[in-house]
Amino acid sequence: MSFITGVGLTAFGRHEGSSSLDLMSKAAELAVADAGLTRAEIDGVLCGYSTVAPHIMLATVFAEHFGIRPTYAHAVQVGGATGLAMTMLAHHLVKARVVRHVLVVSGENRLTGQSRDASILALAQVGHPDYEVPLGPTIPAYYGLVASRYMHEYGVTEEDLAEFAVLMRKHALAHPGAQFHEPITVTDVMKSKPVALPLKLLDCCPVSDGGAAFVVSRERTSETGVRVLGCAQAHTHQHVTAAPALSELGAEIAIARAKQAAGVAISDVRYAAVYDSFTITLVMLLEDLGLAARGEAAARVRSGYFRRGGEMPLNTHGGVLRYGHCGVGGAMAHLVETQLQMTGRAGNRQVRDASIALLHGDGGVLSSHVSMFLELTR
Amino acid sequence: MSHGKRALADWTTGAEAIVYQSCAACGSLQYFHRSFCRACGAPDPIEKRASGEGTVYAASLVVRAATPETRAHVPYNIVLVDTVEGFRMMAHGDNDLAIGDRVTARFSQFAGRLVPYFARTKIMRVRSASRRKHESFTASKR
C-alpha cells in the first residue's frame, strides 16, 4: 500500500528572485511538515525538471540543497505527465519496500527566470527536430492541430472550449494562491488574442513561477489516509505527426488499465483532477476518460456538473489553466488540491464528497498518459 | 539529422522534395526517416519521393510565434496533410485551408529554411473562400 501523507504548494505567479531550487525547497518543506515527518525521515527523492536551470542530476542537487541524504533519488521527465508518473513510481517504490517515504518535488521560476519566448521555444522542442520544429510550430499550435481535428469530428465549437476556461477561472477565484483572480466570460475568451487558432490566449495555460511537492509513504502518518488505489500509463507516440487516430489515444488505454489495477469504475469517482494545459486538452481528456460522452463535455460544464457543488467537481484550484503552470509543479498542484479535498482541508473550496478521486496527466501532445485512482481511508 | 544514409534528398536537407520510406518486408510506410522499419524492424526501408498530393487532416493558424525569424511570417498556417501515398506529414499551407481540402505541395522559404507548402488542388479553386481572414477561421467548425 501507499499513501499521499503530505502535500505542499506555493502560490503560482511571480516569485521574483526565487530560483527553481528555492521554489522546490519551499514546497518540499511544506509537504514534509504536512506529513508530520522530519527531513531525516525522507529516504527517497523524485523530482521533475526545470527548463530554466536544466541539470543532469537535479534530484541529487536538490537533496544536497535541501539537506537530506536519500537512499534513492533521481529525476523523471515525461512533460505534463511527470507529476503523476513520479507518484506512480513512488507508489511502487514504497510498495516494494525500497524506501519508506518518497518526497516528490518540483518547482520552477519559469515566468521570471526566462522570457516568455524562451519558454515557448523550449516547449516547442517536443516536436520533431527535422520534420516539425523547422516549420515554426509552438506548443499551442500542436494542440491547435489536435483541436481542429477533434472539433471537426465531434462538432465541438470554440464557445464550447471557452466554457472550460471560464470554469477554471471561476475555481481559481476561490484559491488565494492562484495566478488569476478576475472572473472571465465566454465572450472574453472568444475575444482574447489569437495564439494558434482555434486556440486563443485564454484557451492556454499561463507561464508561472511556483513549486509543488508531496510525500508518498508506506504507512499513513495521520488518521485520515489518502491511498493510491491503482495507476497505469500509456505512451502511444511523441510527435503529433505520428499520433494515432483520435479514437486510439493513450488516455483511453491508460484509464482502462488503471481501472483494472484499482478495481473501480468511473461511476465510483467523486472528484476529478485532469490535466488542462489547453481547453482542448481538458475537453478531450474528460471525454477519453469517460467523465463525459464524446462531444458532451461542454454541455456538462454548462449544466454545472464539474463545479465545486456539482456531481463531479473538477480541478477546484483552477487547474494549470488558471491556478498557473510552472512546468512539472503545475500538474502536481492537481494532486495537492485532490489530497486537500479528500482530507477535508480545502476550506472555502471544500466539496461534499471526494472519497474516490481520479487523476490524469498528459505529456507532449497527448503522447504520454498517467491515470490514477486515490481513495480516502479512515 | 536522423540516423542512416539517405538515398534521396528532401526538404529537411534543403531539396525541393518530400520523401518517405516503404518497407520491403511488411509494406509499412513511414515519414520520419530511420534506418529500419518501425513496424517490423526490417533494415533499410526503400526511400520514395511523394507526389505532393494529399488531404488536409488538421490545421492551426499560428498568430503568436516565439522567435524574431518566425514572427516575421505570422500568421502562418501549420497543417497536417494525409498524403495520397498514405503517410501523414506536417507542413505549411494557405491560411484558409479547411479540413478535408484536397491539396498540392510546393515549396517556400520560411525563417531561412525551405519548407513544404500546400495550396488547394487547382480543380477545387472554384469554391475557394480565400477572402476569409484569420479572425473568421472556421475550418474546425465544418
Residue B104: CA count within 13 A, CB half-sphere: 6
Burial of A303 (0-12, 13-18, 19+ CB in 10 A): exposed
In whole angstroms, what is the distance from residue A22 CA to residue A18 CA? 6
**For residue A195, what are the contacts with CB-CB under 8 A and spacing of at least 6?**
A138, A140, A144, A201, A203, A204, B62, B63, B64
Residue type, A11: A
> What interhelical angle do A279-289 and A139-154 show, nearest 10?
50
Q: Which residues on A lie below 8 Å from B81 (Cβ)?
A: none
A 10 A CB-CB count for A20 gives 30
pLDDT at A180: 93
pLDDT along chain B (142 residues), means of 10: 71 97 97 96 97 98 93 97 98 98 98 97 58 40 35
> Which pLDDT tens digit goes with each residue over A195-253?
999 999 999 999 999 999 999 999 999 888 999 999 999 999 999 999 998 878 899 99
pLDDT at B137: 40
Q: Closest approach of chain A CAs to the CA of B126, in angstroms?
A: 23
In whole angstroms, what is the distance from residue B69 CA to residue A193 CA? 21
A118 to chain B: closest CA residue: B66
Sheet-wide strand order for A44-47: A72-75, A44-47, A101-109, A209-217, A3-9, A225-235, A368-377, A356-363, A271-274
pLDDT at B1: 43
Q: Which of B32, B64, B115 sits opposite A134 (nearest CB)?
A: B115
pLDDT at A137: 94
In this prediction, the answer to ipTM > 0.85 reads: yes
Is A196 within 8 Å of B62 when comparing Cβ atoms? yes
In whole angstroms, what is the distance from residue A247 CA to residue A124 CA? 25
Burial of A82 (0-12, 13-18, 19+ CB in 10 A): buried
Three-state secondary structure call for residue B66 = coil
B80 to chain A: closest CA residue: A241
A 10 A CB-CB count for A193 gives 10
Is A117 within 8 Å of B60 when comparing Cβ atoms? no
In whole angstroms, what is the distance from residue B30 CA to residue B37 CA? 8
Residue matched to cell numbers 517490423: B40
**For residue A235, what are the contacts with CB-CB under 8 A and spacing of at least 6?**
A250, A367, A368, A369
In whole angstroms, what is the distance from residue A296 CA to residue A367 CA? 23
**In contact, A247 and A236? CB cutoff 8 Å:** no
Backbone torsions φ then ψ of A45, nearest 5 degrees: -130, 125
Q: Which of A149, A158, A197 sits opposite B99 (nearest CB)?
A: A149
Establish, for the pair of chains A and B, how many residue pairs have beta carbons separated by less than 8 Å: 127
Q: Closest approach of chain A CAs to the CA of B137, in angstroms?
A: 8
**For residue A134, what are the contacts with CB-CB under 8 A and spacing of at least 6?**
B12, B110, B111, B113, B115
**In contact, A341 and A223? CB cutoff 8 Å:** no
Q: Which residues on A lie below 8 Å from B71 (Cβ)?
A: none
Q: Closest approach of chain B CAs to the CA of A365, in angstroms?
A: 14
Q: Which of A132, A140, A198 sits opposite B90 (nearest CB)?
A: A132
Q: A51, A114, A131, A150: which to substitute to probe chain B, counting the most B Cβ within 10 Å?
A: A131
Is B111 within 8 Å of A136 when comparing Cβ atoms? yes
Q: Which of A136, A138, A151 sits opposite B140 (nearest CB)?
A: A151
The residues of chain A scoring below 50 in pLDDT are none
**For residue A64, what are the contacts with CB-CB under 8 A and spacing of at least 6?**
none
